[in-house]
Amino acid sequence: GARMSEPIGIFGGTFDPIHNGHLRTAFELWQALRLAQVRFLPTGDPPHRGVSLASPELRLQMVRAAIAGLDAFVADDREMRRSGVSYSVDTLLDLRREYPERSLCLLLGMDAFLGMPHWHRWREILDLAHVVVAHRPGWKAPITGPLGEIMVDRGTGNVRDLHASSAGKVYVRAVTQLEISSTELRQLIIGGHDLRYLVPDAVRELILASGCYAQRSS
């Protein structure tokens, strides 16, 4: 229907495990930006961190369990199917081939956005997508350096700009901050604690059934 022309949100992460902080951010951006859908892309071999603890297959299974029930949320396994390191620019090139005309919105946290100048071929990203930065209270958008320039050249405060073109804008949006980190969740499990109310029930059940984060010898 009419939504076919609306932007697609791209939400990547290790999702090790996916939790309510990820989901609430995606939900608020989906609503505020009037996105047709949000695609959750679990990383295969993340370039920016060590080995994930849950297998890629289990992380994908957790994402699918977490988003079941909201048609606009879609699990996308393209990064896991690619061998080797997943770079955002390659994923966006791939999505751009699939959706040549659509607005694509790369959804990032402010900390990820601040790290963008260190990404592989990072300047090409704005040729391929808009960048939407989910903002935490206390973080300031950069005003100097390469990102400061991009904020001046590309920044917009208007959601309509994300619909009017397929790529090239930076939009910063405050979202409700649920201060949950996947690292802390793994520590809670190792300590024998229950993740109820921090992750969706279906994700909690998968974690318990698989024992994927239980105490390791290392």
Tens of each residue's pLDDT in the chain, 218 residues: 446 689 999 999 999 999 999 999 999 999 999 999 999 999 986 555 555 589 899 999 999 999 999 999 999 999 999 877 779 999 999 999 999 999 999 999 998 999 999 999 999 999 999 999 998 777 788 999 999 999 999 999 999 999 999 999 999 999 998 989 999 999 999 999 999 999 999 999 999 999 999 866 54
The span from the CA of 143 to the CA of 120, in Å, is: 22
What tokens were used for 130? 């808009």
Three-state secondary structure along the chain? Answer: CHHHHCCEEEEEECCCCCCHHHHHHHHHHHHHHCCCEEEEEECCECCCCCCCCCCHHHHHHHHHHHHCCCCCEEECCHHHHCCCECCHHHHHHHHHHHCCCCCEEEEEEHHHHHCHHHCCCHHHHHHHCEEEEEECCCCCCCCCHHHHHHHHHHEECCCHHHHHCCCCCEEEEECCCCCCCHHHHHHHHHCCCCCECCECHHHHHHHHHHCCCCCCCC
Name the residue type at position 1: G
Global pTM value: 0.93
